[in-house]
Each structure stands twice: as C-alpha cells, then as structure tokens.
Structure 1
Amino acid sequence: MKGCFILLILSSHLLLIITISTVADTITITQSIKDGESIISAGESFRLGFFSPGNSKNRYLGIWYNKVSVKTVVWVANREIPLADSSGVLKITDRGLVLVNRNETIIWSSNSTGSTRNVAQLLDSGNLVVKDEDNPEDYLWQSFDYPCDTFLPGMKLGWNRVTGLNRYISSWKTPDDPARGNFTCRIDPAGYPEMIVTEGSVESFRVGSWNGLRFTGTPELKPNPIYIFGFVLNEKEMDYSYQLLNNSLLSRMVIGQNGLFQRFTWIERTRNWRVYLSAQIDNCDHYNLCGAYGSCNINNSPVCSCLKGFVPKVPKEWEMVDWSSGCIRKTPLNCFGDGFRKYSAMKLPETRKSWFDRSINLEDCRNMCTKNCSCTAYSNLDIREGGSGCLLWFNDLIDIREFDENGQDIYIRMAASEIDDDMRIKSKSNEKKRMTIIVSSVISTGILFLVVTIVLYVRKKKQQNAGKETGIVLGNANDKGQKEDLELPLFDFATIACATNNFSVTNKLGEGGFGPVFKGTLKDGQEIAVKRLSKHSSQGLDEFKNEVMHIAKLQHRNLVKLLGCCIESEEKMLIYEFMPNKSLDFFIFDPSRSKLLDWPKRYHIINGIARGLLYLHQDSRLRIIHRDLKAGNILLDDEMNPKISDFGLARSFGGSETEANTNKVVGTYGYMSPEYAMEGLYSVKSDVFSFGVIVLETVSGKRNRGFSHTDHHLNLLGHAWILQKEGRSIEIIDASVRNSCNLSEVLRSVHVGLLCVQQNLAERPSMSTVVFMLGGEGALPEPKQPGFFTERDLIELNSSSSYHNSSSANNLTITQLGAR
C-alpha cells in the first residue's frame, strides 16, 4: 500500500512536469501568472511577464524579445495604469485576460467574451491571443489589434471596416513611462487612405498614399531583401503590414518619443539595435513645409520653391524664409480651356479630399478631371505594370516634394498658355546614341553566328574604349530568308570583369547548359546578371545566338530585360537586368519562404506570367514559343513582379505558322506537354501547358515532378483534377496562404490551370483566353483529364531511353545559388 502511494506521488509529480513543459506558452483558466513568473512563445522568440521600465519602480505587464540581451519591450498591457508594487496577477477567465492588483481590483482586461474553456497563448510572432480550446483558429482577442509603440512583422496598422477597429501605434511618454506619448502613426481613412504621423492633433509627417509598391512620401521604404510589405484596401479592411524575408532576423518598426518612425534591426555582433532606416530623413519631411503648390527639394537652397506655373502668394514672407503661405497660379484657370502639365518624381499631394477608382485607366482619368472644373490634378492610383486606376484631387495641392528616384508622376491642371510641350523632353533620350559596330551573320561549320566588325574605331585603339558602351546591329536570317537589324548595346570585357569581381565564385548565381551566371555591379551602381558562354559548350553557342536574336526584339514588363552583350575574342556574354528576389520556385517550394508570398502576391505573379506569355504568343513581332517555361525561369524583381527569363530554347513562328516538329526535345521534366515530350510537336499550346503547371504549383506550393498522392499515386495535375471533380479544390491550397486568400480567385486559378494542362492540346485555351478567364467572373468549361495524369507517367518518361538520348533537359536547368 505504501509503495502504491509513493508511485502515485511520483506519477503526479511527473504529470505536473509534463503539463508545465507542454503549456510553457499558454495560460489556461486554472492557471495564472504572478510577478516574477512568465511564459515564453514556442520558438522562444518572445516572453510575457512583469517589468519596470528605465528607472521607474512601477510594474507593467508586457511582452519583450526573449533572446535579445537588451530588454526590448514591444507591447504593454497596462500602459496607462501601472502597478505600484509586485502584487500583480494575470488570469484567464470567461471574460478573457484580466490583470488584478493585491486588492483583486481589475486594472486591465482584454474585454473579450468566451467560455470556461478560454486559453491565452503567446505566439512566436509576439502576438498574445485569447481563444476557445474548442475553436483554436478563431481568436477572441489578440494584442496585435492593440499595439503600443512597436509595429511587428505580421501586425496590421489600419482599419477593420466591419468592426470599426482602428489599429495604430503611439509613442511612449518617456523611457520610464510607457503611457501614450505625443506622437501617433495611423492610417487616415479620408479620401484615398494614407499613413500619417501626428503630434497631438497636429499632423507632423505624412508617409503618403499607397501606389501599389510603396507609400509615395517614403521611397526608401520600398521592398528589399530584408522584408516585403503591402497595403490592403477593400470593403472589409484598410491596413498596412509587412513580413520579414529571413525569420532569423530581428527587425521592428517603432514610433519614437521624438516622433521619428524608424526601423531597427538587431546586430548580434555589437549586441545592439541599429537604425536600418527612418521614414523622416530631412527637413522636407516636415508636413506642408512649402504651403499650397509649393514643392520641397532637399538638394536646393532654399529647399522650397513654387511649382512651374506658380509664384509665391506673399513674396515678402518667402524672402524671410517663411513658405507657409504657399503659391498661387501665374495664369488663372478658365475650366474648359485648361490642360495638364506633367510633374515627375514627386511625392503626391495630400489625398484627404481626393477621389479614386481602381477600374479606369489614365486616359479616362484625365477625361474625368477635364470635365470637372473643381478637379485640380490627377494621377495613376497604382504604378505597377505601367500604371492603372485613377486618383483625382479637388483642393489646393499641399505637402509636395521632389525625389531623386522612386517618385511618382502627377498631372496638374494649368491654363492652356502655361502648358509646355513634353514631347521635346522625351526626344532627348534619342540624342545619346553611341557609335555602331556592324555585326554580320556568317555561316561557319553549319552554325549561324555573330562576327563583330568595328567600323568607326581602328582595332589597334580598341583598348582605349575600355569601360565605354557602344552599340551593335545584329543581322538575323529567319526561316523566310528575310533579314532584320536589331540594336543592342555592346559591353567590353574589362567592364564586365570589373563588375563581377573578375567572375568571382562569390558572385556566381548558378550554371546551366549555356554556362555560368554571375551577379555584377556597373560603375554607375546598376546591378546586372551576366550569362557567360562556356567555351566548350556547343549547346551554349546555340543558346547564345538564339537568346540574342529573340529577346533583343522583346519589350514587356513581364519579360526579363536584355541590357546588352559582350563579344570579345573568345568571350561571349549576355547582360541582363538583375532580379534581387530570385525566382518563383525559391519561394513557393520552401516551407518558410512560402509564407512571404501571400495570395495577393501569388495571384499578381500568375497574372503577370499570363500577360507575358500573351505578349510572346500574340503581341510580339514574331510568335515566340518559350519551350522551357517553369517556376525556376520566372524571376522576381524587387517589387515581386514576375519576369519570364531564359530564352535559349525559344523558337519563333512567322506568318500563319502555329506549330512545328523537332527531333531534339529539350526542356524540363514536369513542365513539358505530352505532345512535345513524346512526339517533338511544339506550339503555343505547349507553353500553355507549362503555364498551367506553374499555376497549380503556385497555388499548392508543391512541385508537379516528385509529387505523388499516397492514396492513388497521382501527380499534382491528376490530384488537382480529382479534387476539382469532387468539389474539393480548396484542399490543394497551400496552407501558408489560406488565411490571406480570396477563395473565388484561388478556385478560379485552379480551374484555369486545369484547363491549360488538358491532354488534348486543341482543348487548351489560348493565352488571350487565359488572361480573360483569370480576370473574369463567368462560368468556365469543365476541364478534361490532364496530360501526364500520374507520377508514373513522368517516371516512365524520365527513364525512356529514346527520350533521354534526344534530350538535354537536365543540362538546361540552372541551379540557383542566389538572387539574379
């Protein structure tokens, strides 16, 4: 009996240990936290407990970074009502979280309803949530909805338009007092929403309106390798958020007691927080410094001046360096005879008295402003992909400044006599053409290639041209025997060697059948990607010729841009714009990085690829078949815009040609259409098939090649088709985007993807139809069984000797080592 009692005690003790260890980040209704106790998030990133700030003896309940040696508090519960001693206790009740003092008086509460099964959990994001154990995905309350002075990754600033909740951050009063200070940073919902910083009730800094890429007043807050961010504006919400690209990095945004809105990153080497950037950087960031129709340029002295066509309203005040009275027009408006002057690289004026429409283009926007005599200016609402939407102003234009880069175009109403001829300015770019080197096409050993002949410089003086950029004209004989001239900048070898640190291995991005790819930086700071032809690769020679002759003709925002080439001695290189965010597969197939691509970004990428393919198939000078379209060949720029790349395998059609055959099947397993892989037949519908695979991979986060469902051994295409037939397509959605997705957009994308991968090429839609279907709302035809229905199909294709002997697919797949 005694032994049983001891065993019972030991068992109870062990159970207690197990219970404590499994709820280290959680408080249940039977538990509490006293001063001196704490809980830690599951990944040990954040800690919740009691603390005293600075030199204060008051006690507060807060959340701080757990692994940072300098205590950095990111949230405070009772910031307005401190505890005078260490008697505070945090409990979870059916009313949510409550903080009581020694008299059991509630000094702070989450005011959330629930049940006796309420639990509170500290998440690894720093978010403290209250939820019902029976419904853990539905938060009853969360600290992210009530931020203090710190804006954390995953947090939202702005409005919940359904509940009316306004999330904003406010500074601490002093380093010793976390109570609300003088400064706040919030979204102003009037007109077209914009983020502002206020001191009390007075606006001190305007972050600016959102233009699809950034806030117009803070060009330095553009997406970069540290983080990505976005702005959501719909009938349910109006908010701004960001995500870190590297989860091991510690970074936060804070509104300081001095009103500065800054980003800090933790530097482990110095064991301190470093200012990564500040939204306010100079005197021009003072709100409305130059008054109405005045513009601030920090490079000028004085910094304020009137916009062209305007003069100081009170000249004497301007002479005394008081610009607050602003400017007035030189020539009054007469409404129906007015026009518009374009101002570039600007911070757009305050938008509180503006109107916007996402659905109309810039020309329609101009017409609307012209017809309304109260309209003072117009601009694109969104600057992505060449611009879209309409933003109109109906008041004096205030708080304008000029930027060196990343500003925006605005068209301001002017009297007809004040309007300049903007076409003369545009023509200047054509006056900077350099000397031309003629390259004629010759046939050598059966291969058409390029020979450079310098016509304006003597060869013995070639060394004097180091670092200079010239132009070449490429001659190409197409299938019809016709010849086309293509202008393409020529870089000398010394310039590219210097830019790539002499082709250092640390600059190497990857390697394929063409040869290695290097990152480089030109002397003017422009980043480039250099594809260097391998000296011993005949396949690379074909690719080089093919890529130059095709992509030099192509100009589209969703195609990677060829900047020039280098042909010197035995060296042959292609120089492209550098894509800092690597490729689509880098994100969607990685469990951690996939979280950085929410559904709006993925949908934007899908639509961008579709428009790029439509251009290749229909709108370019020749009908271009890419033949190696895959997630790895979709590069992403610094704003996550997709760019189709790698045209080494591309083929062009002329006239009425729509398809062709080849005995040399090249490409990448998992993306090739059945008729191309098995019969060598390629057409625009081959690219459509590849696009469909990319769509399904982007939605699911799974590779087509290598995917095999455990129950029926289907590959990704077959699995998606079965789910579609059974009305369960929602199950294919990547878990990392389910909380951010527009379900109708996702399901429509899956449906369109399945239509693109149908076995019969005649039943696949054209890319013009695909673009229409992705943007439409009508009914779609039911997709038929896809090509390569099971994983066995791909395995057998991979092991087929006849296919393998005629293919160089594996050699053409670049293994990426970094951004390019």
Structure 2
Amino acid sequence: MADPPIFSSFCTSIVVLAIKEGETLVSQGRKFKLGFFSAGSSKNSFPGIWFVVSPETVVWVTNRNNPLIDSNGTLEMSNAGELVLLNQSKSVIWSTNSTKVLGNPVAQLLDCGNLMLRESNNLGSVDYSWQRFDHPSNTLLVGMTAGWNVRTGLEHHLTSWRSTDDPSPGDYTYRYKIDRLPQLEIVRKDSVKVYRAGPWDGVEFGGLFMEGNTIINPIFVYNTTDACFAFETLKDDSTAKVILSPDGFTQCHLLKSGSTEWYLMYSLPHDPCDTYGQCGKNGVCRINQSPRCLCLQGFTPKSQEERDVPNSTYGCRRRIPLNCSRRDFMKLSQVKLPDLVDFQLFKNLSHEECKIECLKNCSCTGYANSDLRGAGCLMWFGDLIDIKEIDMDSIRSPSKKLVTIIVASAISGLLLVGMVLGIIWKRRMKRRGELNTFLLHHVIKFRIDLFFLTLCGTDDVDLPLYDFATIAIATNHLSQTNKLGASGFGSAYKVISYKSINSNNNRRGKLNTINSPRRNIRHFYASRGSQ
C-alpha cells in the first residue's frame, strides 16, 4: 500500500496532510505562502499564494468562480493524488484534475511561487503531474510564461480580478494571440480589443513600449515549440511581477530586497495612442503632435463635423475610389503596423515581390515586410486599423553609433565561439558528469537578438536545445538561487537535475529571440489610389 499523499515545502522535511483556514505552508526561503485569504473588505474565502513580505500581494487564486462563503474550507491531497479544495460539507469544489498518475505524490511550494505535484522520491526532477504556473490568474512571475506551448496546445493567459475586493474573473484578458503571426493583446470580456502590440517582426513586437532598464529583461519566444512572453530579473536584490489590473492595464512592478513597497516600472497601454483604434479606420495616431489623429494620404475625415474634432476616433474614408489601373503607394516609416484583420502572409516573398503581388490585387490596401531578418510579405485588404507613430525619442537607439555597434557585435560573436570551443575542450578533459552546469547566454545585439542555450556534461559535440518549459523547471524558474553569475554574454544558471533534463531531450526546440528596444525600422506602404 502506497504512503498517503503529503504536502512538502521544497527541500524540507515539513509534512502536512491538509491546510485549513488560518494555516499556511511556507516555501523554503520564506518567499511565498500558501493558505486561505479574503480580498479587501470581502468576506469570501479563497485558497491562494502570496508574498511573505507583502501579504496583500496575492499571485495566484484557485477557486475564482466558486468562493467559499465561510471559513471552513480545506485544501488537501486526495487518495487519487489530486490537490482538492473541500467546503464545509466536505464536497470537492476545486481539483487539479491532472492527467498523469503519480505513485506517491507530494505538493511542493517553491521559492519562485510555483506549486507542483511530484513524486516524493524524485523532488529534484523536472517531471511533474501538475503545476500552478500552467494556470495563472492575474499575475506573471519570473519563470512563468504568457503564451502557447505549441507541442501540447496549452495556453497561458492572464485574467484580471473583477475588483480589488473580488478575485473572481474580471473583464480583461492579456493574451499572446497567434493568427499566422503573433500579437500581444488586452481584450475586454465582450471581445473588444483595448490594446495591441505587434505583429511579430522576427525581432520583437511592433509598437511595444518597455522602458530600457538594467533590472528587468523581457524575453519573447516564437519557434516550433513555444510562442510566449516571459521575463527575468537581473539584480539579486530585486523581484518583479506583471499583473493585469481590474481596469485593464498590464503593469510591471518591482520590489527591492528589504522593502515592502512595489515600484511601478511600466504600464500598458502606455499613452493615448496605445488605446486600440484611437484614430479610427485609416487614421494615424501621433502622440506628440496636435491634432493627434491624422488621415492617411488620400483619405479624408468621414464628415465635415469630424474635421473640426482634433482627436477624432471616427476614422477616415478615401477621397476617391481606388483605380486599379493607376495606383500609387505612400511609404510610412517608424509606425506600428495595422492590425491583422483582413490580411495575407507570404513567408517567401521579397520586398519587391510583395509590392508586385499587392499591385495585382485591386483590393490590396497596403503591404510591408513580415520579417526584418529576411524574406516575408504582409498584405492588407480593406480598412487599416490601429496605426501609431513610434516615438523614437523614448527608445534607446543611438543610430549615430551604428557602425561601432555592428563591429562590437561581431567581436562578441567571436568571443562566444571561443567560449563554446573552450567549454567543449574542458568537457573532454574532465570525467563524464563532472560539469553539470546549464548556461543560459543572452547575447544582445543591436541588429538582431539571439537566445543561445548551451549544456555542458554530455558526450555529444552537438549542443542540445530545449523548450522554455524544460529550461524554466531545470533552473528552478530562473531562480536567483540557481544563478551562477552574469557577464556581457548574459546570465548563467545551475540545473536542478542534469539527468532529468537530459532525459527530456525529446522535447527539442530552439529559443531564438529576446526582446530589446527597437533597433530596426520596418516600413509600411499604404495604397493612396490614383493621383
């Protein structure tokens, strides 16, 4: 007969058969607590996880749609190996419902804020039957992702609280949407978009504003195994969170060691032009100019009354209908591309071929490169929505130093090659298994950002590649305690279990891009009809 399921904090001998109101489970480093809470003035009770130093900062809630109306709830492990929530009458009102059966399961609360169901005799493994990071509520922490696991089809998205006193699902969702090309969106419950960044241009998301800093590094991944957003902190004395507020803002907050005050790093939408469709159809939003909204060339405000409104959201219409035999294009630089509403994507067409294809179709209203790194063509049809001028003054992009930057990047590339060759040589000089370090190198270049993954301690000369979920778990979700150090190449992390991550190498996928402030500009060409 198998031992009864238990709760266990990571790497400790604490054993708890059940958690009731007033009881908590604390992670090993005393960073997070699991227990019951009530939000604000509400009397309803919810199981959740919160920061020890900031108890009001709840990062996860279980039964958001079915709160406990009394203080008689119990969170426990069932005999079937599931984490379940029982009400006063001992009825199950929430369960993990994992599909994988464990022989002797335990629930671990980790210092990264994750709660995982694992085998009790294999706590250091990357294997698990369920983890709360796969079921976020309104908060993203270091090691979590918002987006898609392409292999499993699992989506991670944030859903706002209804209010500061009510953790039930609110009116807004922050998601990583994929419709042939990824875009980041905040959507209201009635499916109305309130914010959009994108589309993905092979390097980053167009129009995404994140002030450059040396504390938080955003990570954007788009490949055959993962399409997601994540972030890491670069300072040992800081932690961060990204939340979706009840009023629909995605906000990044920073907490420094020894403090209980969260500092707001950025908030999206960032400015009035970030509001979706601020200037209506066929209009361009210009944040630092008056009037803010301007019609594209060849278009005019829809009515005379709207001409007198300096920031009209009603949009614009063509002065004269398109003449397919006489067409011209207007070049727009430093703009966020229109929303992907009615469009076509051709991944193998060059820029000139894209223009020719657009000219062949009388309904084509604009075109642009889909990928700054090479071939790719986007064509729009119908009205153009949510175009915004990008404020280059707010982005750290010293174009006057372009030649110097390119040379420095080339030297960095040679240093990286030398370092990798040195690692291979050192591995062969050591006995097998002596080196058990996972190096996560962030090689930031100004022309293109690459995500390098290197594993030491195998006999293969080829460097194996892993998906983001495997990397996150193997490095304890990019935990500062697993961080070996940082340099110009980026951060290096220690693996929890080399054998476990090596056995999971069937999930191969290359993480190929990290976001940094925009360096390359993609041009958009809008059809202005006959001239």
In the alignment, structure 1 residue 559 sits paired with structure 2 residue 290: no
CA distance in structure 2 between the partners assigned to 1:21 and 1:205 by the alignment: 39
Q: Please name the residue that 1:584 is paired with.
A: none
Q: Is the 8 A contact 1:24 1:40 kept in 2?
A: no
Residue of structure 1 in register with 2:517 after alignment:
none
Q: Structure 1 residues 713, 260: closer, same or farther in 2, change over 3 A? A: closer
Q: 1:320 to 1:49 in 2, by over 3 A?
A: same
Cα drift, residue 394 of structure 1: 2.5
Counterpart of 1:208 in structure 2 is 198
Q: Determine if contact 2:81/2:104 at 8 Å carries over to the other structure.
A: no
Seen in structure 2, the aligned counterparts of structure 1 residues 84 and 221 have a Cα distance that, compared at 3 Å, is: same
Say whether residues 1:375 and 2:106 are aligned partners: no
Structure 2 residue aligned with 1:59: 45
Distance in 2 of aligned mates of 1:123 and 1:144: 11
Residue 221 of structure 2 aligns to a residue whose secondary structure is strand
How many angstroms does 1:153 deviate by?
1.9
The answer to whether the 8 A contact 2:102-2:129 is kept is no
The whole-number CA distance in structure 2 between the counterparts of 1:713 and 1:107 is 48
Change (3 A) 1:707 1:186: same
Q: Which amino acid aligns with 1:53?
A: A
Q: Which residue does the alignment assign to 1:709?
A: 430
More displaced stretch, 267-276 vs 704-713: 704-713
Distance 1:525 1:390 in 2: 25
Compute the displacement of 1:526 (Å): 6.0
Shift in Å, 1:336? 5.1
Q: Is the 8 A contact 1:291 1:326 kept in 2?
A: yes
Amino acid at match of 2:430: H
2:36 paired residue among 42, 50, 57: 50
CA distance in structure 2 between the partners assigned to 1:337 and 1:75 by the alignment: 58
Q: Does 1:693 align with 2:418?
A: yes
Q: Which of residues 56, 68, 71 in structure 2 aligns to 1:86?
A: 71
Equivalent runs, 1:344-493 vs 2, <5 Å: 344-383=333-372, 388-405=375-392
Q: Distance in 2 between matches of 1:322 and 1:217?
A: 20
Whole-Å separation in 1 of the counterparts to 2:117 and 2:212: 32
Change in CA separation of 1:272 and 1:711 when aligned onto 2, cut-off 3 Å: closer
Q: Residues 321, 126 of structure 1: CA spacing in aligned structure 2 closer, same or farther, 3 A cutoff?
A: same
Q: In the aligned structure 2, how far is the partner of 1:24 from the partner of 1:103?
A: 32
Shift of residue 185, structure 1, vs aligned partner: 1.1
Q: Distance in 2 between matches of 1:711 and 1:208?
A: 45
How big is the shift at 1:710? 3.7
Mapping 1:350-749, distance limit 5 Å: 350-383=339-372, 388-405=375-392, 555=403, 558-560=406-408, 612=410, 633-634=411-412, 692-696=417-421, 702=423, 708-710=429-431, 728-729=459-460, 739=470
DSSP 3-state at the match of 1:317: helix
**Residue identity opposite 1:123 in structure 2:** L
Is 1:157 the counterpart of 2:142? The answer is no
Give, in whole Å, the separation in 1 of the partners of 2:31 and 2:354: 48
Q: What's the secondary structure of 1:739's corresponding residue?
A: helix
Cα distance between partner residues in 1 of 2:282 and 2:36: 51
Which amino acid is 1:173 matched to?
Answer: R
**Residues in 1 aligned to 2:40 and 2:141: alpha-carbon distance in whole angstroms:** 22
Shift of 1:193: 2.5
Whether the aligned pair in 2 keeps the contact of 1:311 and 1:330 (CA below 8 Å) is yes
TM-score (norm 1): 0.48
Matches within 5 A, 1:4-403: 24=12, 31-66=17-52, 68-69=53-54, 71-93=56-78, 94-113=80-99, 114-133=101-120, 136-201=125-190, 202-218=192-208, 220-221=209-210, 224-267=213-256, 271-320=260-309, 323-335=312-324, 337-383=326-372, 388-403=375-390
Is the 1:262–1:277 contact (alpha carbons within 8 Å) kept by the matching residues of 2? yes
Q: Tell me by how many angstroms 1:165 deviates.
A: 2.8
Secondary structure of the 1:281 match is coil
Cα separation, 2, equivalents of 1:242 and 1:158:
13
The amino acid that maps onto 1:276 is M
Q: CA deviation at 1:729?
A: 0.8
> Aligned letter for 2:136?
P
Return the alpha-carbon distance in structure 1 between the equivalents of residues 277 and 66 of structure 2. Answer: 36
Distance change (3 Å), C-alpha of 1:358 and 1:250 = farther
Shift of 1:264: 0.8
Give the TM-score normalised by structure 2. Answer: 0.72
SS in 1 for 2:305: helix
How many Å apart are 1:33 and its aligned residue? 2.0
Distance 2:223 2:427 in 1: 38
Identical aligned residues as a percent: 37
The Cα shift of 1:23 comes to 5.6
The 3 A distance-change label for structure 1 pair 323 and 173 is same
The answer (yes or no) to whether the contact 2:65–2:168 under 8 Å persists in 1 is yes
Paired with 2:287 and 2:163, the residues of 1 have a C-alpha distance of: 31
- Secondary structure of 2:357 counterpart: helix
Q: Determine which structure has greater relative contact order: mean sequence separation of CA pairs < 8 Å that are 6+ residues apart, divided by chain length.
A: 2
Amino acid at match of 2:128: Y
User: What's the CA shift for 1:263?
Assistant: 0.7
Cα displacement (A) at 1:331: 4.8
Name the CA distance, whole Å, in 2 between partners of 1:736 and 1:289: 37
**Structure 1: any 5+ residue segments left out of the alignment?**
1-18, 409-523, 530-553, 561-608, 613-632, 635-641, 645-689, 715-726, 742-774, 776-820
- CA offset digits 1:184-231 (Å, max 9, x no partner): 11123335331111222122222332234432232x226642233333
Distance 1:731 1:34 in 2: 51
Rg (Cα) greater in structure: 1
230-239 vs 113-122, which moves further: 230-239
C-alpha spacing 1:226/1:353, structure 2 compared with 1 (3 Å): farther
- CA-to-aligned-CA distance 1:529-561 (integer Å, 9 cap, x gap): 9xxxxxxxxxxxxxxxxxxxxxxxx9597423x
Q: CA deviation digits over 1:280-305, x for unaligned, max 9?
A: 12222222121111011122222111
1:345–1:407 contact (8 Å) kept in structure 2: no
Contact 1:290 1:326 in 2 (8 A): yes
More strand by share: 2
Alignment RMSD (CA, Å) = 4.0
